[in-house]
Amino acid sequence: MKRVTVHDVAAEAKVSLATVDRVLNGRPGVKASTIERVNDVVEKIGFIRDWHAANMAKRRDYKIRFLIPQGDNAFMQLLRREVEFASKVERQRRTFVEMKSIPAFDGLALTSELDAIDSDEFTGVVFVATDTPGVKEAIKRLVERGLIAITLVSDIPNSARAHFVGIDHAAAGRTAASLLGKFLRPNIGKVVIIAGSMLLRDHVDRQLGFKQVMSSEYDGLEVLPVYEGLDDNKVMQGLVENILEKYPDLIGIYNLGAARRGLISALKAQGKQGKVCVIAHDLTDDSIEALRDGTFDAVINQDPPHQIRSAIRLVRAYADRAAFAESQERIRIDIFLRDNLID
């Protein structure tokens, strides 16, 4: 069967190749009636554009900005390291990656950064989303300017973003509850959830998943109200010390955010190391050491290199209007115990 080309579209619509190109690429300077006629012909004759070939012919460059929260969050530091690595290796694919650090949990700062992205300079933006109405509106404005928005680690559902790159956080919370419940069985007592900030959708979803399993399967374990440690080690240490003093019979902790060093210091200071079952997130140097010495019982991990590579691939795919493999871009949940750490 003969392949339908842009020449066929131009001939059928009785317009020039330049006009067809403007319509296909959404560029201005074409009357509404002409746009409608070209699009009708595209549908009628079954034209399918090879976006990859078109971009190669134009030697298209992709420029991506990553907005990563600043601070001593070890997981975010891993993400920043991977972005820096990607900025070197992706150039061979004509993809230029840059990164800007922004304040954590600050919806206004994120909104300002999203609004400042120049659509003439950048192809897409990848960012850790703070779930606020202002950020959702900024994403809408970003997309209206022709940019591709990819949320990373923490999503903002029902927004104009193109794709979310991260684990299923509700499933991660359910996994944490199952681990904690099985490790503590048949003990009865109090357990506490410590989040970074409930402004982050991933933290909200994790605690919801955790509570879902706890209430349905482990009614002997009393889940205390959620505390927020702001993913700050100093804040976390003081918070956990206060919790342990208030609840001396506490038997379990689910740390669904960061600030693991503060948690570890508090447990050791209160003589609770190895006496309270702890499930934490993200395999960093501090959590690896805590697994090895028995301070943590399990760590639920997501893969930073995979997340950064996936985000970059997705920006290119959406820019090219190309298909991509959903399975390749799915970020899996990994569980680490002391027994399966690799030296």
pLDDT digits (tens, 9 = 90+) for 167-217: 999 999 999 999 999 999 999 999 999 999 999 999 999 999 999 999 999
- CATH 3.40.50.2300 residue window(s) in the chain: 62-166+304-331, 169-301
DSSP H or E run through 285:
helix 285-292
Q: Which of 285, 265, 281 is nearest to 273 (CA)?
A: 265
Q: Give exposure, 93-129, as e/b (b: 16+ Cβ within 10 Å).
A: eebebebeebebbbbebbbebbeebeeeebbbbbbbb
Higher pLDDT, 5 or 70: 70
* pLDDT top residue among 65 and 19: 65
Could you tell me if 72 and 233 are in contact, meaning their C-beta atoms sit under 8 angstroms apart?
yes
- Class of 62-166+304-331 per CATH? alpha beta
DSSP assignment letter at 121:
T
Whole-number mean pLDDT of the chain? 92
Give start-end residues of each CATH 1.10.260.40 domain in the chain: 6-49
Say which CATH class 169-301 falls into.
alpha beta
Task: Band the pLDDT of 57: cuts 50, 70, 90.
Answer: low
Please give the pLDDT value at position 23. Answer: 82
Q: What is the CATH number of domain 6-49?
A: 1.10.260.40
